[in-house]
A and B are shown apart, each in its own frame.
Chain A
Amino acid sequence: RKEVEQDPGPFNVPEGATVAFNCTYSNSASQSFFWYRQDCRKEPKLLMSVYSSGNEDGRFTAQLNRASQYISLLIRDSKLSDSATYLCVVGSLNFNKFYFGSGTKLNVKP
C-alpha cells in the first residue's frame, strides 16, 4: 500500500467553481502535512501547511482528519491560473522524511 494516495483526476472545472481534493495516508504516526502545487515541467511549490485545526489562505482551505487519516484541499472561485497538479505531502516525526502523493491534476476552463 502506498504511503500517500490521491485521486489522479483530472478534475475539469469551469472558472469560478469550487473544487475539493482528498488525500489519504497510511502511517498514523505522521506528524506534518502539506499541499504543494506543481506546474508542468516545473518544481513543486509549497501551497500551504495543514494544521490540525484546519487553516485557510485566501481561496484555499485545508483540513486534516487524523482519525480517518485524510487531508483535504478546497479551492473556491477557481481561476485559470489554478490549473496545475496538486501534491499531498505527509512528513514523519522531526520532518526527516516526506512522502508525496502522485498528485491530482486540475484543469480550470474558461
Chain B
Amino acid sequence: DAGVTQSPTHLIKTRGQQVTLRCSPKSGHDTVSWYQQALGQGPQFIFQYYEEEERQRGNFPDRFSGHQFPNYSSELNVNALLLGDSALYLCASSLGSIPGQAASGEQYFGPGTRLTVT
C-alpha cells in the first residue's frame, strides 16, 4: 500500500523565483492538505484540496496557490519567493468522506520537501 509521496525531496531557489512542489496521496485517499513547517515550529496549515477545489485556506498570502488533479495528486506553487519561505513543506492526505460514516480526519504525511531560498 503506497503511502504519501512528495517530490522533490530538496530544493534550492533564489529569492524572487517560483517553485512547484508535488504530492501523491496515500492509496484510497481523496483529500490533500499542505503545511509549512519552519525549524522548531509545528506545521502551519496552508490549504486543503478536495474534489479538485480549495476547500479551506490558512493565513498564507496569494503567492501560495495549489491545484488538485482528477487522480487526487496535488501541487503547491509559491511565487516571488522570499527568504522567509525557507521551510519544510509537508503534504498530508486523508479521506474526505466515507459513505455511511463520518470522516475521521486522520492525516498521513509525506516525507516533505525541504525548500531553501537564498
In the complex the two chains form, is B90's CB within 8 Å of A98's CB? no
CB distance from A24 to the nearest CB of B (A): 14
Counting CB contacts under 8 A, is B101 at the interface?
A: no
In the complex the two chains form, is B105's CB within 8 Å of A91's CB? yes
B contact residues around A102 at 8 Å (CB): 40-42
Closest residue on chain B to residue A32 by CB atoms: B105
In the complex the two chains form, is B112's CB within 8 Å of A95's CB? no
A97 to B44 Cα, complex, angstroms? 10
Number of A-B contacts (CB under 8 A): 55
Closest residue on chain A to residue B91 by CB atoms: A43
A93 to B97 Cα, complex, angstroms? 13
A101 to B90 Cα, complex, angstroms? 15
In the complex the two chains form, is A98's CB within 8 Å of B44's CB? no
In the complex the two chains form, is B112's CB within 8 Å of A43's CB? yes
Q: Which segment of A12-20, A44-52, A53-61, A69-77 sits at the interface?
A: A44-52
A42 to B56 Cα, complex, angstroms? 25
CB distance from B63 to the nearest CB of A (A): 20
A contact residues around B41 at 8 Å (CB): 102-103
In the complex the two chains form, is A95's CB within 8 Å of B94's CB? yes
In the complex the two chains form, is A34's CB within 8 Å of B105's CB? yes
Q: Type the 1/0 row for B48-62, where 1 means its CB is closer than 8 Å to any CB of A.
A: 100000011010000
A contact residues around B40 at 8 Å (CB): 102
Q: Type the 1/0 row for A89-110, where 1 means its CB is closer than 8 Å to any CB of B.
A: 0011011111111110000000
A92 to B40 Cα, complex, angstroms? 24
Closest residue on chain A to residue B114 by CB atoms: A41
Q: Type the 1/0 row for A1-40, where 1 means its CB is closer than 8 Å to any CB of B.
A: 0001000000000000000000000000001101000000
In the complex the two chains form, is B56's CB within 8 Å of A45's CB? no
A4 to B41 Cα, complex, angstroms? 12
Taking Cβ atoms with an 8 Å cutoff, the residues of B that contact A are: 33, 35, 40-45, 48, 55-56, 58, 90, 94, 96, 103-112
Taking Cβ atoms with an 8 Å cutoff, the residues of A that contact B are: 4, 31-32, 34, 42-46, 49, 87, 91-92, 94-103
